[in-house]
């Protein structure tokens, strides 16, 4: 397998630095100077590989969105039908979606979305894509459940997962993790009850 191109490698390194800067300084405080300092690249190199500051922020948001939506799709594709909803719940409430480098940056994006329509539109598109992925797999797993119920459950799972992930940053006790998982499982059991009623 070939080595990734130098340009692709450099872009990833710069976008990693953007993640750190946004997490620490927010969107407004993420300047080309700060990204250059954190990444070790000059401003000229950053502009060469990713463009101006607006381009940089747009590509950061696109990378973040693609990463999370693709991860959900990969898990769905690797899981047998009938178990996909449960696999996505494990992802949403597992360590992978807990506090980490991306968390502070995602929180900064939400804060910025209140004032910036472009950020808001990007976040909305990301969460709608995740919601559609979950809803589609729930419809596959629970074909007798109404489509509206699967869509509503997908939305509720994302709300619970997002709130749970955010509160984990406040060092909530481990028992809260079990509680969030139990509530998510109850949502899946409700959808499963349509299967039982149909038989």
Confidence of residue 2 (pLDDT cuts 50, 70, 90): low
> Is 75 within the bounds of a domain?
yes
Cα distances (Å, whole numbers) of residue 98 to 146, 161, 169: 31, 9, 8
pLDDT of 31 above 80: yes
Report pLDDT digits (tens) over 69-103: 999 999 999 999 999 999 999 999 888 887 777 88
| Site of tokens 């709608």 | 128
> Is 93 within the bounds of a domain?
yes
Confidence of residue 199 (pLDDT cuts 50, 70, 90): low
Q: Assess contact for 37 and 14: CB atoms under 8 A.
A: no
> Is 110 within the bounds of a domain?
yes
For a pLDDT cut of 90, what percent of the chain falls above it? 61
State the Cα–Cα distance between residues 145 and 139, nearest whole angstrom.
Answer: 7
User: What dihedral do alpha carbons 133, 135, 140, 142 form, nearest 10°?
Assistant: 150
Range of the structural domain that residue 74 is part of:
6-198
> Is 78 within the bounds of a domain?
yes
> Is 91 within the bounds of a domain?
yes
Q: What CATH number corresponds to the domain at position 183?
A: 1.10.357.10
State the Cα–Cα distance between residues 98 and 192, nearest whole angstrom.
Answer: 27
> Is 50 within the bounds of a domain?
yes
> Is 178 within the bounds of a domain?
yes
166, HSE (Cβ side, Cα atoms, 13 Å): 11
DSSP 148: H
If one counts the domains in the chain, the total is: 1
Report pLDDT digits (tens) over 175-194: 888 899 899 999 999 999 99
Q: How far is CA 96 from the centre of its chain?
A: 10
Question: To the nearest whole number, what is the mean pLDDT of the chain?
Answer: 90
pLDDT of 112 above 60: yes
> Using CB atoms within 10 A of its CB, is residue 83 exposed (0-12), middle (13-18) or buried (19+)?
middle
> Is 1 within the bounds of a domain?
no
């Amino acid at each position: 397998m070939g080595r990734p191109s130098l340009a692709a490698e450099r872009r990833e390194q710069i976008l990693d630095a953007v993640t750190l800067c946004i997490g620490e300084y927010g969107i407004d405080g993420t300047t080309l100077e700060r990204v250059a300092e954190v990444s070790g690249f000059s401003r000229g190199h950053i502009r060469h590989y990713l463009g101006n500051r607006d381009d940089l922020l747009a590509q950061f948001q696109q990378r973040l969105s693609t990463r999370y939506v693709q991860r959900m799709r990969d898990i769905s594709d690797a899981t047998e039908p009938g178990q996909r909803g449960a696999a996505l719940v494990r992802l949403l409430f597992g360590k992978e979606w807990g506090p980490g480098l991306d968390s502070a940056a995602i929180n900064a994006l939400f804060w910025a979305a209140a004032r910036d329509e472009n950020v808001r539109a990007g976040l909305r598109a990301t969460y709608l894509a995740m919601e559609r992925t979950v809803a589609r797999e729930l419809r596959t797993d629970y074909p007798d459940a109404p489509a509206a119920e699967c869509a509503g459950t997908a939305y509720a799972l994302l709300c619970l997962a997002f709130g749970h992930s955010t509160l984990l940053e406040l060092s909530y006790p481990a028992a809260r993790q079990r509680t969030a998982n139990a509530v998510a499982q109850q949502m899946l059991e409700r959808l499963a009850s349509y299967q039982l009623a149909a038989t």
